[in-house]
Amino acid sequence: MKKKLLKTLLLVLPVVVLSSCDRTIFDFLSSSSYSYPSYSNSDFSSEVRGGYSKEQASFLMRDVGDSGDMPYLDSVGNPKILVIPVSLSGYEYNATTRNLNRIKNVFVGENDSWQSVESFYRLSSFGKLNLDITVADKWYECDLTPEEIYALDERSETETGGVEKVIEMAYSDYKKKNNTNGTEFDSDQDGYVDGAWFVYSAPNYLSETDSSTSGLDPTCWAYTYWADNSPNKNSPALCTFGWASFDFMDEGYGTFKSDAHTFIHETGHMLGLDDYYDYNVVSKTDGSAPMGMIDMMDANIIDHNVYSKWILGWVSPFVVTGPGEITLSSSALSGDCLVLPTSDGWNGTPFDEYMMLEFYTPENLNWKDSEKAYPGNGLKGFTEVGVRLYHVDARLAKYSNNRKFSYTDTLESNCYIAHSNTPSYGTDKDRQTRNHLSPNYRLIQLMDASKTTNFAKTYAYAKNETLFHKGDSFSMEEYASFFPNGKKTNDGGTFEYTITIKSMTSKEVTIGISKN
């Protein structure tokens, strides 16, 4: 099984103030409350608007994962997640009833700080994903210290051997005490628990209030991983799991409230989403920030973007087939989005190269992190409406026995998304197979309407001015310096259209598409 350890963002970021430039700002951003919409498996898949049709994904990220023996959590339906709190030796004092109840609040129901894991994904998916989460009623008492687990991790090839030993013991203990074989957590009957979370009682290794686990990275951090177990339909084995300190609950809004941001981000990895930040960044003076840091899979804030939602089966974009004009509503409320394929043609899936745009409004899951800076890292979402425009290169690569990769438009065995947002770190993140395809290509890159920041080359925050507003336009000619191959796309083609923002209100935007 090809596996990857996906850790939450390390950097602590300063507060960013976003300027308004006399554009539309929502009055409710100054309010302390917001009325969230409700969805019940909303269907946005079939519609023709402005001469463009919505296109559903012919296969999803779960299918790509299965092709590479990486069983991601189902992104549509009612998959199961088992949450087991783990009391580590020496840190029993944190394994309290209060913290157990806080863990339940983080994962299930309406969270008092913002959203729970369950409510976030129900809203983000427009009701298509309804996580069925069970939180154990008691802490599992582990007799290993963090140092002992770390030592086991260090001796293992994957750096997770100690943690995997702990989670196996915790899962076995849960099954024994609850008189179950675990089949209730295998909704797709593939022989694996759909997803499992383990929240441990020791502080994370970068804790500012308790340095006792300092240096124990990645043991005392937050990450998602895949245990290398064989499937068993009679007694489902662990595979997809999350591991995080209880103290990540303390990063939210308000005193004593329980925060789910980190747990939501890591659950995104369980679904198959990649990190959109650059792993190579060690300071603000190097590396890059391809998404400008404003995304749930970047700096853990606001909603998922529409590319993420497309590969998970939550939205169906309108696909440009010629010149025209189309009006889009808020992507946060409707899932509206637009795709412009390259001149090389579109393969009919989200796993290709294209430009993609959405009409951003600081509503729904964007609201809280735009209303004020997220205390976990000091970063804030956009406070204005505007168009977010992305260059996406989500082409699949096929892995062959001679350790080479080649692009493919069809889903075959051993397929992976070829590129990531970290230079030289694409093609399934296997260290031995880096650089078989260009390290200069990013999975998803935010375009800057002000033309001042190439986020693929610069470590910088996106600002309100990054969004496209009325009168702004995009063409390959104008933005050639933002692409690795100048006026050519990564696949050797070009973008044949100019995008122009014709009009914009707080509710909708009209986009003009003209042939170059």
The pLDDT tens digits for 453-505 are 999 999 999 999 999 999 999 999 999 999 999 999 999 999 999 999 999 99
* CA-CA-CA-CA dihedral for 320, 323, 327, 333, to nearest 10: 10
Position 36 in a domain: no
Position 39 in a domain: no
pLDDT at 322 (0 to 100): 96
Position 33 in a domain: no
Boundary residue ending a domain (270, 304, 335): 270
Position 48 in a domain: no
Q: Are residues 201 and 242 in the same domain?
A: yes
Point out the least confidently predicted range of 135-144, 212-221, 437-446: 437-446
Number of folded domains in the chain? 2
Q: Are residues 304 and 254 in the same domain?
A: no
Per-residue pLDDT, averaged over 145-155, amounts to: 96
Boundary residue ending a domain (247, 270, 293): 270
The closest alpha carbon to 208, from 356, 376, 393, belongs to: 376
DSSP three-state, residue 509: strand
Query: Is residue 402 over pLDDT 80?
Result: no
pLDDT at 414 (0 to 100): 85
The closest alpha carbon to 141, from 194, 88, 82, 198, belongs to: 88
- State pLDDT tens for residues 243-289: 999 999 998 886 667 999 999 999 999 999 999 999 888 666 678 99
Position 105 in a domain: yes
Query: Is residue 61 over pLDDT 90?
Result: yes
pLDDT at 416 (0 to 100): 87
Per-residue pLDDT, averaged over 95-108, amounts to: 96
Whether the link from the prior residue into 37 is cis, omega within 30° of 0, is: no
pLDDT at 14 (0 to 100): 36
DSSP three-state, residue 363: coil
DSSP three-state, residue 364: helix
Position 212 in a domain: yes
Q: Are residues 430 and 476 in the same domain?
A: yes
Q: Are residues 331 and 265 in the same domain?
A: no
Q: Are residues 264 and 361 in the same domain?
A: no
Position 341 in a domain: yes
Q: Are residues 102 and 238 in the same domain?
A: yes
Boundary residue ending a domain (237, 270, 303): 270
Q: Are residues 258 and 286 in the same domain?
A: no
Distance CA 507, CA 516 (A): 29
pLDDT band with cut points at 50, 70 and 90 for residue 425: low
pLDDT at 280 (0 to 100): 83
Q: Are residues 430 and 468 in the same domain?
A: yes
Q: In percent, how much of the chain has pLDDT > 70? A: 87
Q: Are residues 286 and 266 in the same domain?
A: no
CA distances from 203 to 176, 209, 506 (A): 28, 9, 43
pLDDT band with cut points at 50, 70 and 90 for residue 45: low
Query: Is residue 108 over pLDDT 50?
Result: yes
pLDDT at 2 (0 to 100): 40
Only one residue has tokens 């299930």, namely: 108
Q: Are residues 261 and 303 in the same domain?
A: no
Distance CA 20, CA 26 (A): 11
pLDDT band with cut points at 50, 70 and 90 for residue 177: very high
The closest alpha carbon to 269, from 5, 2, 1, belongs to: 5
pLDDT band with cut points at 50, 70 and 90 for residue 63: very high
- State pLDDT tens for residues 316-375: 999 999 999 999 999 999 999 999 999 999 999 999 999 999 999 999 999 999 999 999
The closest alpha carbon to 252, from 375, 104, 392, 92, belongs to: 375
Q: Are residues 121 and 89 in the same domain?
A: yes
- State pLDDT tens for residues 20-41: 333 554 555 555 667 777 776 6
Mean pLDDT of the chain: 89
Q: In percent, how much of the chain has pLDDT > 90? A: 76
How is the beta sheet containing 415-417 ordered, strand by strand?
405-408, 396-399, 415-417
Q: Rg of the Cα trace of the chain?
A: 22
Query: Is residue 99 over pLDDT 50?
Result: yes
Is the CB of residue 379 less than 8 Å from the CB of residue 346? no
Query: What is the span of the domain harbouring residue 412?
Result: 279-515
Position 142 in a domain: yes
Q: Are residues 330 and 253 in the same domain?
A: no
